[in-house]
A and B are shown apart, each in its own frame.
Chain A
């Protein structure tokens, strides 16, 4: 087999088949994919169906803590988790630039297989296209996921009430800084690793609190500040955040100070912002901290009636300031 992807690999002929068989089918194998039909056919358990799609164009393709393959599974899985769904099936579309290393493609396929296996989600259908050199940057991946939401669950900003708690499920800003550091060759005394992770266990652990968990959202591009602003606007309530409660690692804080960035606006790929009612907050925090990737979960604020549609931060001096939406481009192509 050639060591690079050729245009012929996307022709639909023998070489396409060979690429799919050798790189993907062998490691992604399951009954739906192996059936090799034009479309996968599954029977879903009862409940509402959640469906989410995301495209991944990150540069660099390999970064500390993950790669575009792992990210493409985590991103869609976490979107489903944020809906309160159990992630079940996934489609994968790949756009590969001519000349891409086959060994890298295998690494990416492997890491997708591993992450999917960890979650227990199955890749049931896929598509591969090859474009001329220069028409794409290495590899782009789209994943679409389907999950099922049990009838008791309804996570939407409409459910948010005054007095609810705002939880961040761990240190924020790691992914954004890891990508920036890798891209620009910045070195810190402590290496910065992306938090890229599938949060299906977190989702499962919160299913035990129907009604009390009001809403969940993953703070990817635009970071925690953007998600909180969206929730404030959609619920027409105020989000009051305490700066000193926000979990940020010292290396991210130091690097952001140095680079003039704000961790609140940095991307995350393995975190959730969860809004929960006050009744069972202690139990919920206890459960959350047991879930993988959530050891540093913390209550970062409360929901208030005023100022409606806005996010206010209380600084360590006790002063209040507005946390606005991200202006312009913080960092391009981070996911």
Chain B
């Protein structure tokens, strides 16, 4: 989309006119990064707050799950294949990056299909794909499992840390100290799930939800649509990102997800266990479940001392409120996952800081 300065300015003008206290949550990490990059937060009046939500898959992965992954990765005969973001996430004692430097065979891929190819090339090794992500990435992993079954691959499995978004939002909305007036909902996730899950949320919690795209103009439109609903005392689920999202989502992607995975309990950093928020393999695909294949027990979540990623992920605080932010915890030496992931709220606030207040006009 080309930038249209006049239109953007008009939209922004409408938004900053709002004088009521309002807190909107951008659920998705990609939104957090795009908002930080656009500098939008610096232009909003203090009564309008944009809070980051639990929509960065790396950030919400529980500490115990990261520890279990690292423990599996260092076993002999294993090739662990992962998206790059997971490499630097600190576990309790180590990270995948450190495990690799000590000899573990861990490879970075851009698609789960790469892991299938690695499994075919290394029949004498066990290839484990670290499945991480929401409804957006899970269908590709489901397709992989399906292909592995068709190919009869016996040395391929997936460590599924996949999660689905709506149950986490429901938990946030039911928190007693919740002060969120509306949700900027992730466009990519809705490409798959559509609008229906948000309609249910709106019905139950009476907070507007707008499925929004990722360009600056999309975000301004999404924020404006939310403010307009709140001003008028309405609460509906709407789509701003109509050029990509259909209200029914993508039925083919929903079907393959349904075929391969079933809902399971999943632990979220900062939130804890959420029923039906994870994706586990159905029994027919059980042979691809790395947890079963390698007998992986659930691990305790050992909190990182001083790290407030959990509060950041639930919109209770912003990254600068964390005592470690920018001091002990930086992208070079991250302490919590929100500083590691390129979608993490802390990384976004650190990478795209506003000019210091004294310099502001």
Interface residues of A, Cβ cutoff 8 Å to B: 184-186, 244, 257, 259-262, 306-307, 312-313, 315-322, 324, 327-328
B8 x A324 contact (CB < 8 A): no
For B42, the closest partner residue in chain A by CB is A319
Chain B residues, CB < 8 A from A316:
3, 5, 8, 38, 216
B216 partner, pick from A260, A261, A315, A327, beta carbons under 8 A = A315
- A interface, by DSSP: helix, strand, loop or mixed? loop
**Chain A min CB distance to B226 (Å):** 17
Encode B12-25 as 1/0 by CB contact (under 8 A) with A.
10000000000000
**Chain A min CB distance to B216 (Å):** 6
B355 within 8 A of A: yes
Docked Cα-Cα span, A261 to B342, in Å, equals 8
Encode B184-223 as 1/0 by CB contact (under 8 A) with A.
0000000000000000000000000000001010001000
A317 x B343 contact (CB < 8 A): no
For A261, the closest partner residue in chain B by CB is B342
- A-B contact list, 10 entries, CB within 8 Å: A186-B110, A260-B343, A307-B355, A313-B39, A316-B216, A317-B38, A319-B354, A322-B353, A322-B354, A328-B332
B149 within 8 A of A: no
Chain A residues, CB < 8 A from B356:
307
Docked Cα-Cα span, A260 to B341, in Å, equals 9
Docked Cα-Cα span, A244 to B42, in Å, equals 18
B5 x A327 contact (CB < 8 A): no
For B331, the closest partner residue in chain A by CB is A327
Docked Cα-Cα span, A307 to B354, in Å, equals 13
Chain B residues, CB < 8 A from A319:
38-40, 42-43, 354
Residue from the set B38, B40, B85 with the largest chain A CB neighbour count within 10 Å:
B38
A317 partner, pick from B33, B216, B332, beta carbons under 8 A = B216
B353 partner, pick from A257, A306, A318, A321, beta carbons under 8 A = A321
For B360, the closest partner residue in chain A by CB is A320
A257 x B110 contact (CB < 8 A): no
B121 within 8 A of A: no
**Chain A min CB distance to B285 (Å):** 27
For A313, the closest partner residue in chain B by CB is B39
Chain B residues, CB < 8 A from A186:
110
For B36, the closest partner residue in chain A by CB is A321
Encode B333-361 as 1/0 by CB contact (under 8 A) with A.
00000000011000000011111100110
For B41, the closest partner residue in chain A by CB is A319
Docked Cα-Cα span, A319 to B356, in Å, equals 13
For A317, the closest partner residue in chain B by CB is B38
A327 x B332 contact (CB < 8 A): yes
**Chain B min CB distance to A312 (Å):** 6
Docked Cα-Cα span, A130 to B43, in Å, equals 59
Docked Cα-Cα span, A259 to B220, in Å, equals 23
B352 x A321 contact (CB < 8 A): yes
Chain B residues, CB < 8 A from A322:
352-355
Docked Cα-Cα span, A306 to B354, in Å, equals 15
B264 within 8 A of A: no
Chain A residues, CB < 8 A from B360:
320
**Chain A min CB distance to B12 (Å):** 6
A318 x B343 contact (CB < 8 A): no
B43 x A306 contact (CB < 8 A): no
Docked Cα-Cα span, A316 to B40, in Å, equals 10
In the A-B complex, the 7 residue pairs with the smallest Cβ-Cβ separation, listed nearest first, are A319-B39, A260-B342, A327-B331, A315-B39, A316-B3, A321-B39, A319-B42
Chain A residues, CB < 8 A from B147:
none
B228 within 8 A of A: no
Docked Cα-Cα span, A324 to B43, in Å, equals 20
B110 x A244 contact (CB < 8 A): no
Docked Cα-Cα span, A319 to B8, in Å, equals 12
Docked Cα-Cα span, A320 to B360, in Å, equals 9
B330 x A327 contact (CB < 8 A): yes
For B3, the closest partner residue in chain A by CB is A316
A321 x B354 contact (CB < 8 A): yes
For B216, the closest partner residue in chain A by CB is A316
Docked Cα-Cα span, A312 to B353, in Å, equals 10
**Chain B min CB distance to A78 (Å):** 28
**Chain A min CB distance to B43 (Å):** 5
B353 x A244 contact (CB < 8 A): no
Chain A residues, CB < 8 A from B351:
324, 327
> Which residues of B (248-288) have their CB < 8 Å from a CB of A?
none
Docked Cα-Cα span, A322 to B216, in Å, equals 18
Docked Cα-Cα span, A185 to B33, in Å, equals 26
B242 within 8 A of A: no
- Asked whether A317 and B353 contact (CB < 8 A) given A184-B110, A260-B342, the answer is no
Chain A residues, CB < 8 A from B38:
315-317, 319
